[in-house]
Amino acid sequence: MCGIVGYVGHREATDVLIEALKRLEYRGYDSSGLATLSTGRGKGRLRVLKSPGYISALEKRIKTGSSRIGISHTRWATHGVPNEVNAHPHMDGEQNVAVVHNGIIDNHLALKRELARKGHEFLSQTDTEVIPHLISEEYRHNGGNLFEAVREVVKRLKGSYAIVVLHRDHPDILVCAREKSPLVLGTGVNEGFIASDVTALLRYTNRFIFMEDGEIAKVAADGIHIEKISGGTVAHEWTRVDWSLEDAEKGGFKHFMIKEIFEQPRSLHQSQTGWRSDENSIPADLATARIIRIVACGTSYHAGMVGRYLFEKFTGLPTIVSMASEYRFADATSDDPLMIFITQSGETLDTIMAAREARSRGLKTVAITNVVGSTITRETDLTLYMRSGPEIGVAASKTFTSQLMMMYLFSSYLGYRMGYIKRDDLNSIKEHLRHTIRSVEGILNNTGPIREMAEWFSGSSSAFFLGRYVNYPAALEGALKMKEISYIHSEGYPAGELKHGPLALLTEKTPIVALVAGDHTYEKMLGNIGECSARGSPVVAIAPDGDVEIGRYTDRVLHYPRVDPLFSPIPISVLLQLLAYYTADHRGCPIDKPRNLAKSVTVE
């Protein structure tokens, strides 16, 4: 969600803050702002600039200056409308303290009432504004120790936060703290960085420390000092992140999303080849599991639904898929399941809280994520990395298919370790996955028919995506992509459920996207397509090359290179991503930054 950047060093701070902030635009935001401390003319003056809308609006307000320290923020509104007053940074009444904050302070109203009784006046509707006022109070009482003032204040905050504090009397340090909201520290030559995401800082460094909950840090140009908020020094190892700056840039593509769609042959290959090292890290006791539960949100949940079919096929174990936001409200079971948590960013708060709940129940926990050092890696017993590279577009593309790749690899390997499938079966699955990657390349080499279909599809206002078996989750994901970026209302449905209500919504203006694979569901899918056609709805069939039968049921067909039907969700998903992208592009939608959405959902 919201983005944070802090800098102290030898560069012009404003330049660093704006450049880094732009790399966090994908997270979703409605306003932006920065605070810098002047070192030239007007030395010691805390300067704050804020603006609703995109960062480009903020840039227009920036005047030349001289500063070597500052903080910046992109806000996604939770308390108060998106306007200049509610934008971050927020300041105390004396304008000595500036604070940027991600998260939600649950007890902000009680704190605001307390401060108001002491004479503090508030300008915004936000929960964040209480923080600089509290710091100002504590700073006066403790004799001017900013680090300790921030420590005492965050002890009083209830909820989630990642905060960075700049004080006019301390031109050489930033103080930051974290609880349930991501914060990463970076280092360069005589400079220090703070951000909510490593992608913001790739231009400047590849060495990072991922702060943990309950930690506070002092960041200076010559070093970083971290302690527990409760007291005691913390020793972190530096993590090297090998994503390149080029990975996080468009590289000549119109949008990040289409760039990332076209990166999928590489990202899938990286996921498969990287699995070789993951195999060696899987403890033998996972093969003793008797039930599996997969927990995730959004797109990751759809990957988990495909995983359910795969784990049941390759391990024979009953597999349950749960929404992360609901898991911890369910009653504890005595099944002692193996818990698998899927989160692209590793910072999805609902998934993190579900993982904590599972560990509190004494269950075995595994995370599947894309980000080294992210919070989920510290909340589970084992982490399996997707290795997709950075994904900037809000709508997931390459990370979804990498999650699918991980479902195939993990489920088959666990089944082999359990003795449920043989070594030859395992090798065959890996070969099918290599062939599937080639099928994705085939789709990307022939996008013309998809573009033409998208132009026709773009005039729709509502659509259904239908699938069966492993392609039912693919239908859900295809509908999600279409609604996310084209704003066409789309619903994914099990094809067999049409007669239980949705048929009432079908008209000649309601297109149906039917996902067809040459498996045991094929005849049933043909029947479902006939049901839709009989009610006048135009049907777009997504079918494998060489399927001539499907043309008898519909005159709109998009073909994908034939693969074993069990592996068809990967090429089908890529085709549906392209259909959604070209539809949204034809409608002129802001594809990389769809309204009201954020890339990393770090609040509950």
pLDDT in tens, 392-406: 888 899 999 999 999
d(CA 184, CA 371): 12
Q: Is the pLDDT of residue 276 over 90?
A: no
Higher-confidence residue of 243 and 37: namely 37
Report the pLDDT value the prediction gives residue 36, as an integer from 0 to 100: 94
Pairing of strands 184-188, 3-8: unpaired
Report the pLDDT value the prediction gives residue 111, as an integer from 0 to 100: 95
Q: Is the pLDDT of residue 410 over 80?
A: yes
Tell me the per-residue pLDDT of 210-256, one tens digit each, with 9 for 90 and over.
998 899 999 999 999 999 999 988 888 888 887 665 566 666 678 88
Q: 423: which strand partners? A: none
Is there a catalytic annotation at residue 2?
Answer: yes
Report the pLDDT value the prediction gives residue 246, as an integer from 0 to 100: 59
Report the pLDDT value the prediction gives residue 93, as an integer from 0 to 100: 84
pTM above 0.85, yes or no: no
Report the pLDDT value the prediction gives residue 10, as an integer from 0 to 100: 93
Model confidence at 281, in pLDDT bands (50, 70, 90)? confident
Tell me the per-residue pLDDT of 201-210, one tens digit each, with 9 for 90 and over.
988 998 999 9
Region of residue 26 (phi > 0: left; psi between -120 and 50: alpha; otherwise: beta)? alpha
Minimal CA–CA distance to 5: which of 179, 160, 158, 204?
A: 204
Report the pLDDT value the prediction gives residue 251, as an integer from 0 to 100: 60
Measured between alpha carbons, how far is residue 292 from residues 315, 365, 500 in Å? 10, 10, 30
d(CA 110, CA 603): 21
The pair of three-digit structure tokens given for residue 326, joined into one six-digit string:
């609901």
Report the pLDDT value the prediction gives residue 28, as an integer from 0 to 100: 61
Distance of CA 118 to the CA centre of its chain: 41
Stretch among 110-119, 238-247, 346-355, 420-429 having the lowest mean pLDDT? 238-247
Q: Percentage of the chain with pLDDT > 90? A: 60
d(CA 62, CA 14): 8
Model confidence at 1, in pLDDT bands (50, 70, 90)? low
What type of residue sits at position 551?
A: G
Stretch among 142-151, 231-240, 406-415, 442-451 having the lowest mean pLDDT? 231-240
Q: Which of 112, 364, 398, 599 is catalytic?
A: 599
Minimal CA–CA distance to 267: which of 582, 602, 573, 580?
A: 573
Q: Is the pLDDT of residue 362 over 80?
A: yes
Q: Which of 2, 176, 297, 532 is catalytic?
A: 2
Go through the domains of the chain in sequence order and give each one's CATH number. 3-247 (3.60.20.10), 251-444 (3.40.50.10490), 446-604 (3.40.50.10490)
Region of residue 261 (phi > 0: left; psi between -120 and 50: alpha; otherwise: beta)? alpha
Contact 330, 339 (CB under 8 A): no
Q: Is the pLDDT of residue 572 over 70?
A: yes
Stretch among 52-66, 309-323, 550-564 having the lowest mean pLDDT? 52-66
Model confidence at 103, in pLDDT bands (50, 70, 90)? confident
Report the pLDDT value the prediction gives residue 581, as an integer from 0 to 100: 96
Q: Is the pLDDT of residue 333 over 70?
A: no
Tell me the per-residue pLDDT of 167-213, one tens digit each, with 9 for 90 and over.
999 999 999 999 988 899 999 999 999 998 888 898 899 899 999 88
CA atoms within 13 A on the CB side of 196: 37
